[in-house]
Structure 1
């Protein structure tokens, strides 16, 4: 019985904190509450409140550690709230726990209801890259390309697609995408300056590689 009291109490406290401190938008209340209730349902199905605690090391953390800075960058360039933001919020929470497969599956559920949402496709691409430890899998490549095809003018998808390409060693492709994005970014924007620095690094790496090959 004590386990149930603790579980329900933590659920109420967490929801209250997200509303009061996190300033969760009204549009995200229903999805967030549903996720918390789903957690309680899972506890009811598999939990054993009378058993003593026995901590175990999670074996599900097979992907890359969650990168808060990149998540904030995605929120800054893309959709922070709204329908896509609700799914991305849940996905980020799972990724922070190391559950990279579940993080991607949450976005897959969102895409079933909103298959033409570029922010969900972008999130899926990033989630799949994290799940493979930074590698650009065919699924992630498709997700990034799909996000760009749906909204060609949005900066988030080409930015993160270029980043995934660069991290996978595909420097020429990354440079091409970033150069195109930089050309249409505002002249004095932080994004254009950052892309310029990234392109300069790629040029330096390619020049160094050419010298070594001689």
Structure 2
């Protein structure tokens, strides 16, 4: 196929020279270029190898659209650095490129180091990259977000979400309670936080009942 494509290119080039009325005395210039290309292909290429379809190494990752909508509603969608970087990072995830998604968030916090939304997204991306575990790097990112916006419901909610994904349910509850307390009454995402908090509370109560009363210490 490689040789056939090269021959087609040479034929098209010849037709173009004729149609453009290129001076015949100068035809040796494009002819030399084509010959050099053919020589290079014969030297570096592998025309004898059979063709085969190329498959992507990474598998697409399903992104939770409900959480994306909550993030956009909390931090704002239009005219913000956070939304632009988040949209790009989400695209990397959908392509299955989790490392590059983390790199997008890392570049974001370097570019805009005082944006709590970016540090929140960076913390969540790091936690997911580390197998949904709260690594020191993820903890640092969330701490930075909480420090920058202590009265914003976004950082405590997504910090609590990362703790839930790490199976640290009891630690997540006070953060979701804080996120709900900081959420305005008319916010579109308030009911979603309240529902998640209720489900978490029910889970913790059920786990405590199944565990039974703890023996008294001597």
Q: Distance in 2 between matches of 1:53 and 1:69?
A: 39
- Aligned residues between the structures: 165
CA apart distance, 1:133: 4.3
2:54 aligns to what? 55
Q: Distance in 1 between matches of 2:162 and 2:68?
A: 14
1:69 aligns to what? 66
CA apart distance, 1:187: 3.3
Structure 2: state its 5+ residue gaps.
6-44, 213-218
Q: Distance in 1 between matches of 2:98 and 2:80?
A: 22
Question: Alpha carbons of 1:100 and 1:163: their partners in 2 closer, same or farther (altered >3 Å)?
Answer: same
User: What do the CA deviations read for 1:68-90 (whole angstroms, capped 9, x no partner)?
Assistant: 32222211211323233322222
2:111 aligns to what? 113
- Contact 2:152 2:179 (C-alpha < 8 Å) held by counterparts: no
Larger radius of gyration: 2
2:210 aligns to what? 212
2:183 matched to 1:175?
no
Corresponding residue to 1:96 among 94, 97, 100: 94
1:54-203 map, 5 Å: 54-58=53-57, 60-61=58-59, 65-80=62-77, 81-203=79-201
CA apart distance, 1:188: 4.9
In terms of mean alpha carbon deviation, does 129-138 or 160-169 score higher?
129-138
- Contact 1:66 1:98 (C-alpha < 8 Å) held by counterparts: no
CA apart distance, 1:53: 6.5
Task: Give the number of the structure with larger relative contact order, counting CA–CA contacts within 8 Å between residues 6 or more apart.
Answer: 1
After TM superposition, the score normalised by the length of structure 1 is: 0.66
Structure 1: state its 5+ residue gaps.
3-47
